[in-house]
Amino acid sequence: MSFNNLDTLYRQVIMDHYKNPRNKGTLNEGLTLEMNNPTCGDRIQLHFIIEGEVVIDAKFEGEGCSISLASASMMTQVVKGKSVEEALKLSQYFSNMMLGKETDSDDLELGDIEALQGVQKFPARIKCATLAWKAMEKAIDQEDEM
Amino acid sequence: MTPLDVKQDFPILTQTVNNHPLVYLDSAATAQKPQMVIDAIETYYKYDNANVHRGVHTLGQRATDAYEGARETVQQFINAPHSKEIIFTRGTTQAINIVARSYSEKFIQPGDEIVLTPMEHHSNLLPWQQVAKRTGALLKFIPLEKDGTLSETAVKQTITDKTKLVAITHVSNVLGTINPIKEITTYAHEMGAVVLVDGAQAVPHMKVDVQALDCDFYAFSGHKMCGPTGIGVLYGKKQWLNQMDPVEYGGEMIDFVELTDATWKELPWKFEGGTPIIAGAVGLQAAIKYLENIGLDKITAHEKMLTDYAMEQLKQLDGVDIYGPTERCGLITFNLKDVHPHDTATVLDSYGVAVRAGHHCCQPLMKWLNVTATARASFYLYNTIEDVDRFIDGLKQAKEFFGDVF
Ligand SMILES: Cc1ncc(COP(=O)(O)O)c(C=O)c1O
């Protein structure tokens, strides 16, 4: 049997992030945000330090499937060092990508996140991929309110 | 025994999914429907549809006969003493909520104890949490043994003369544990408590006799037993139902109505406000006839054969954790080592094999098992040995696929 169909979902880059997550851990300062996916019990905890509208540091911890954890790893990697505005643009880009909408990446530095493109063909898994991004948006929201 | 051979009765099971013939192993979530049930609903809508208990025209009478006939079929199916003890609901969840609302309002006092188990579906947990908040009653949980069963000692230590109500699942939708309901009702009654049984996972798979169990309330859903969605049953002893107030007020359930007050009908109609689920009841009746025609005992034996075979096969794979006791109903909850159940389910799905992954509406039980989620394969009368083989093959693929990763 061939893995063709599955290979569009489980790209090597994704598996690499799953196996060797980047930015896994906690931060002693900054803000912490926990988000879960109530339909499956996946849970992610984000730690962000934002200073002067820039994401200085980002880490995550969590329990979840390959897609949700790889997505968290990629997300933290790509938003670190970016301005809050860019981070939100990336999130918008990602969410459009999940919906299968063609969008211009507008010179955004995408890092590895495009590897998750295949998830759009697996509608049941889109929520896994977007969990970390939703948490990130919420973290930025909270920072705004402070 | 000869295995059942009824897959061809279920049109949905003849399709391919992701280029493979569909193997449906998620009947614990909802069962597929045989042509006979689909036909019964279609015939009802084509020839007999009208509102019930209203007007005098011919169709109205036919619809009423169909609806009330379905009630009698349910009564006989679970051996209830009276058909007025059968209340049609939307499903198990609504049935439990009716008791939680109405029985508690009348009979539960601050400080009374309500006994549950940690293996309850959220449907048989959240309503009681709310009762506890509203009435000041306390929730107590019968601790589980290591294998996910209930011991007699634990039952007797938890149910006391302070217990007013025991709400317990007949069969666990995660562990497959079959609880000793008869023993529990006997003991609870000695202590002066009533017993509600969540039968969602039992009625589809085994002969249930509410008089033999002597439970006070019994709830189940049509959609898990080859019937349509949107119909379920609350059985209750009339001595309790008669004393309980309606939960929903409106048309259909009334006797006399004045501008500022009203009286309502007797059982069972006082609990069925609004136009009832007529086509649903007709579909449920057809499902019961379908199952009875095959024989519940044969269905139980068939599922046991499939489960035993699947267990044997699973034990030959390395790195599979299986949850629940040896003596179990037709479902297997498991995890592959180092593979998240979501990923397991996605790989299986790509081979046309449908299993459930997640917390199965049992978050506290997941905590008890010390996992965040699990995968679950559940069997029903239409599954075959070949289905189990396809499932095991799919698992081997998943292990291979993810094995490369680690
Ligand atoms: C043990 C158990 N109880 C209750 C329910 C709830 O049934 P329903 O969603 O049909 O109301 C289910 C099904 O999901 C179940 O498995």
* B244 and B325 both lie in a single domain: no
Write the DSSP string, B304-321. Answer: HHHHHHHHHHHHTSSSEE
Domain membership flag for residue B2: no
pLDDT at A6 over 90: no
Calculate how close chain B gets to A145, using CA atoms only, in Å: 32
pLDDT at B3 over 70: yes
* B255 CA → ligand 1 middle, Å: 33
Contact A42 B357 (CB under 8 A): no
Q: Is the CB of B204 under 6 A from ligand 1?
A: no
* B103 and B48 both lie in a single domain: yes
pLDDT value of residue B2:
85
pLDDT value of residue B173:
98
pLDDT at B183 over 90: yes
Mean pLDDT of B117-126: 98
The DSSP 8-state label assigned to residue B44 in this structure reads I
Domain membership flag for residue B389: yes
Q: Does residue A63 sit at the B interface (CB-CB below 8 Å)?
A: yes
Establish, for the pair of chains A and B, how many residue pairs have beta carbons separated by less than 8 Å: 54
> Three-state DSSP class for B232?
strand
Beta strand pairing status for B163-169 and B113-116? parallel
Q: Does residue A18 sit at the B interface (CB-CB below 8 Å)?
A: yes
Where do the H-state alpha helices sit in B46-90? 58-77
ipTM, two decimals? 0.84
Final residue belonging to a domain, choices B246, B267, B292: B292
SS3 track for chain A: CCCHHHHHHCCHHHHHHHHCCCCECCCCCCEEEEEEECCCCEEEEEEEEEECCEEEEEEEEEECCHHHHHHHHHHHHHHCCCEHHHHHHHHHHHHHHHCCCCCCCCCCCCCCHHHHHHHHHCHHHHHHHHHHHHHHHHHHHHHHHC
Tokens standing for residue B137: 């009653």
B181 touches B168 (CB < 8 A): yes
* B70 and B213 both lie in a single domain: yes
pLDDT tens for residues B305-330? 999 999 999 999 999 999 999 999 99
CA dist A55 and A72 (Å) reads 15
pLDDT at B164 over 80: yes
CA dist A75 and A97 (Å) reads 14
- Name the residue of B221, B356, B378, B380 to mutate for ligand 1: max ligand atoms within 8 A of Cβ: B221
Pick from B38, B72, B79: nearest CA to B296: B79
pLDDT at A18 over 50: yes
The DSSP 8-state label assigned to residue B161 in this structure reads T
Tally of domains within chain B: 2
* B256 and B310 both lie in a single domain: no
pLDDT value of residue A146:
67
**Which amino acid appears at position B358 of this protein?**
G
Q: Which residue of B has its CA nearest to A37?
A: B358
Tokens standing for residue A8: 């569009």
pLDDT value of residue B404:
61
pLDDT at A4 over 70: no
Tokens standing for residue B286: 């057809």
CA dist A69 and A44 (Å) reads 8
CA dist A125 and A4 (Å) reads 17
* B87 and B210 both lie in a single domain: yes
Q: Is the CB of B227 under 6 A from ligand 1?
A: no
Calculate how close chain A gets to B363, using CA atoms only, in Å: 8
* B330 and B232 both lie in a single domain: no
Rounded to 10 deg, the angle between the A66-79 and A84-98 helix axes is 150
Cβ-based neighbours of B27, under 8 Å, separated by 6 or more: B204, B224, B378, B379, B380, B383
* B17 and B166 both lie in a single domain: no
CA dist A76 and A54 (Å) reads 13
Q: Which residues of B touch A (CB under 8 A)?
A: 18, 340-343, 346-347, 349-351, 357-359, 363, 366, 372-373, 397, 401-402, 405-406
Domain membership flag for residue B1: no
CA dist A10 and B62 (Å) reads 56
Q: Which residues pair with B264 in a beta bridge?
A: B254
Cβ-based neighbours of B265, under 8 Å, separated by 6 or more: B253, B254, B255
Final residue belonging to a domain, choices B263, B292, B321: B292
Q: Which chain A residues have a beta carbon less than 8 Å from that of B340?
A: 64-66
State the greatest distance between any 2 C-alpha atoms of chain B, in Å, as a whole number: 74
- Domain of residue B381: give its range: 7-30+296-405
pTM score, whole prediction? 0.93
- Domain of residue A12: give its range: 3-145
Q: Does residue A109 sit at the B interface (CB-CB below 8 Å)?
A: no
* B186 and B79 both lie in a single domain: yes
Dihedral over Cα of B360, B363, B365, B369: its sign: positive
CATH assignment of the domain containing A72: 3.90.1010.10
Give the nearest ligand 1 atom to B29 CA: 14
Nearest to B346 among A1, A18, A125 (CB): A125
* B393 and B356 both lie in a single domain: yes
pLDDT value of residue A5:
73
* B247 and B285 both lie in a single domain: yes
CA dist B314 and B334 (Å) reads 10
pLDDT tens for residues B19-70? 999 999 999 999 999 999 999 999 999 999 999 987 789 999 999 999 999 9
Is B361 one of the annotated active-site residues of the chain? Answer: yes
* B225 and B370 both lie in a single domain: no
Rounded to 10 deg, the angle between the B126-135 and B92-107 helix axes is 20
Distance of CA B224 to the CA centre of its chain: 6
Length of chain B: 406
Q: Does residue A121 sit at the B interface (CB-CB below 8 Å)?
A: no
Neighbours of B101 (CB within 10 A): 18
Q: Does residue A99 sit at the B interface (CB-CB below 8 Å)?
A: no
- Name the residue of B94, B121, B126, B328 to mutate for ligand 1: max ligand atoms within 8 A of Cβ: B121
Q: Which residue of B has its CA nearest to A4?
A: B350
CA dist B372 and B56 (Å) reads 57
Tally of domains within chain A: 1
* B144 and B249 both lie in a single domain: yes
The pLDDT confidence band at residue A53, using thresholds 50, 70 and 90, is very high
Final residue belonging to a domain, choices B273, B292, B311: B292
Pick from B97, B137, B66, B95: nearest CA to B284: B66
- Restricting to A residues 21-60, those with a Cβ less than 8 Å away from any Cβ of B are 39-43
pLDDT value of residue B248:
94
pLDDT tens for residues B345-398? 999 999 999 999 999 999 999 999 999 899 999 999 999 999 999 999 999 999
Q: Which residues pair with B233 in a beta bridge?
A: B88, B220
pLDDT at B138 over 70: yes
Q: Which chain B residues have a beta carbon less than 8 Å from that of A65?
A: 340-343
